[in-house]
Amino acid sequence: MIIREITIKNFKSYGNTTQRLTLNTEKGELILLVGNNGNGKSVTPSTEIDVDIPLENLNLEELVQFLGIMDGESRYILYIKENNNSLYEEYIKYRNQ
Of 67, 52, 76, nearest to 3 by C-alpha is 52
What is the pLDDT, as a whole number, of residue 86? 92
Over the stretch 63-96, which tens digit does the pLDDT of each residue have?
888 888 776 578 888 888 888 899 999 999 998 9
What is the pLDDT, as a whole number, of residue 94? 92
Over the stretch 29-43, which tens digit does the pLDDT of each residue have?
666 677 788 776 776
Query: Residue 77, exposed/middle/buried by CB under 10 A (0-12, 13-18, 19+)?
Result: middle
Q: Considering the entire predicted model, what is its pTM? A: 0.48
| In the predicted structure, residue 50 carries a pLDDT above the cut 70 | no
Q: What single-letter amino acid sits at 22?
A: T
| In the predicted structure, residue 22 carries a pLDDT above the cut 60 | yes
What is the pLDDT, as a whole number, of residue 44? 64
| In the predicted structure, residue 5 carries a pLDDT above the cut 70 | yes
Domain range annotation of the chain: 5-34+51-96
